[in-house]
Chain A
Amino acid sequence: MILEALADRQPPPSSSAAARRTFAWIRANLFKSLWSSLVTLALAYLLLKLGLEFVGWSLVDSVWSVGTDTAGKLDPSACRAARGVGACWAVIGDKYRLILFGRYPIAEQWRAAMVVLLFVGLFALSALPRFWRRELLLLWSAALIAIAVLMSGGVLGLAPVPREQWGGLPLTLILATMGLVFAFPLAVLVALGRQSRMLPAVRILCVLYVELIRGVPLISLLFMASMLMPLFLPMAIVPDNLLRAELAIVLFAGAYLAEAVRGGLQALPKQQYEAAASLGLTYWQSRRLVVLPQALRLVIPPLANTFISFFKDTSLVLVIGMFDLLSSSAIALADPVWQGYGVEVYVMTGLIYFCFCFSMARYSKFLERKFGRPIASR
């Protein structure tokens, strides 16, 4: 009622049309009923209070850098003084290299940074539909080779860096990208195998694989890769930690992606399969030319969701002692100088993960709109 009175007392015509529209919108969307108004007011109060507190903590009362003591060591007393009141961003300033690049040798970290840029550029290019052609595969191969050269060195005058020293964001991106590159074909094969009515033994193998992997946590697979694989292989050919973790991730992601792909294969109308067969296409031709292009479009949202959760799941390599982005953040906090500033570090690491995952989620929405029309209606 007060609002109506306010609405009536709006200033005369000049800007009033827009103002009235704004006002009508506010009334319809924020103060529709008594309950809605109460909720709006309570939320606005909370938001304002928490927002102000957050700004105070992160910007006003925060410590951005600390001095050194007489011995030349960092002296975090400024941070200790601000404890509980303001954030201590000095920890990021001191540790960002460790967080971003792990134990990669400091003098060579420009290479790791290049790798991150290469990955981001590669993703950005591949995301644009105008670049979807055969040359993209060549570009990917070239970029992956460049990444391998940059990371391990040993050629072109680059100092060699053993794989145990890889870490941080490049390692996360390598684990995720290479995992997907291998898991996706595996998933398509397994999904096809699970569908095949001609080969019951293969179908049973595929079902067993998918259900076993989906029934256990990724941690148990990582344990298997790090502790059991050396037992099950001849000493000479045991791959190193990175490859073993990658293998576990590929097996894990393969099972989940296979389920997503199977959803598309099942959702495809039966007539598509029959039409392909009646044209005389062989099994692989019909799958490659008719079935998969349509089935994969149907399952863009679940595939994207699996990609995203799988990107996040690479952080689990922490439990087997590898130094991906999250583990190196945890290690940065083990420094006695910076103990107790976990919130600051994790907020930053979380922001990096969020940027990657959120852009993937938005991109999948875009793809969904582009290809989202159901097949039946065409």
Chain B
Amino acid sequence: MSNKLKVSLSPHVHSGDSVRRNMDWVVVALLPAMLWSFYVFGLGAVIVTATSVASCIFFEWAINKFILRNSRTTISDGSAIVTGLLLAFNLPSNLPLYIIIIGALVAMGIGKMPFGGLGNNIFNPALVGRVFLLISFPVKMTTWPVPHQMTAYADAVTAATPLADLQQAGLGDLFFGNVGGSLGEVSVLLLLVGFVILLVAKVISWHIPVSILCSAFVFSVIFYVLQGKMPFADICLLSLKHLCAGGMMLGAIFMATDYVTSPMTHKGMVIYGLCIGFLVVCIRLFGSYPEGMSFAILIMNGFTPLINNACKPNRFAKEVKK
């Protein structure tokens, strides 16, 4: 035997799971919606996505190398790619390049790296970037191109979000993604396909998305009923449209489930999801912004440590014996 025996404590085998594998599956799950956005928004979508991913990777690398001076690069874990994609999914397809780059810089430079990089950030970096842009460039961030302008980029014809007048939008159009909006949030169907992929690959559990969607639906029904302006059937339809419109699906499936910023136990995940659903409906119905998903998730990100402290897993032998 030429080499020395290795000695370490058990376990001596590993599941083979890796950070990279999880990130890769998230990218795969995002692919259907991304391709659809390319189809719907054409060239603009491609430019926005490419810029966002490239600048996220660049900023992570640059911050690591020049500011933190870490010898080890963290690009290879794939988290920067995911952040870049998610950021792009939250942007309209006619956004000027410099704004995208600012968004990526904020996402990485404020949302992620100052906390110590992957695993230590309190808030979802992509959402930090998006909210920063939303506050800084409110007009550019909320005028979305009308679908199917293949070669248009900065000169695309724009329209307001369907959320501004939800009663007019068709549920089918919302579901299949025939509306204007940010890149990744238009096709609910393909986002659900992504959800199934994530579930099958065991990257996430069902708890957060399902609890967000249920709670958003229930609370919007309650609030509309309390307003008492519409028949119940219409309220239900409108609430369903709420689930399909804007960033609800994208947020529930891909943003709120971000490992780092979501709670650790299933109990905690459900509480986290329910609160997000409630906050979204509040912001959408009573707030000054038409969309509330990003804010709702960021607010609950802040509560995650508290939820972790409050919700412990079911300990073995906690229940009374026999």
Say if A and B assemble together.
no
Taking Cβ atoms with an 8 Å cutoff, the residues of A that contact B are: none
Taking Cβ atoms with an 8 Å cutoff, the residues of B that contact A are: none
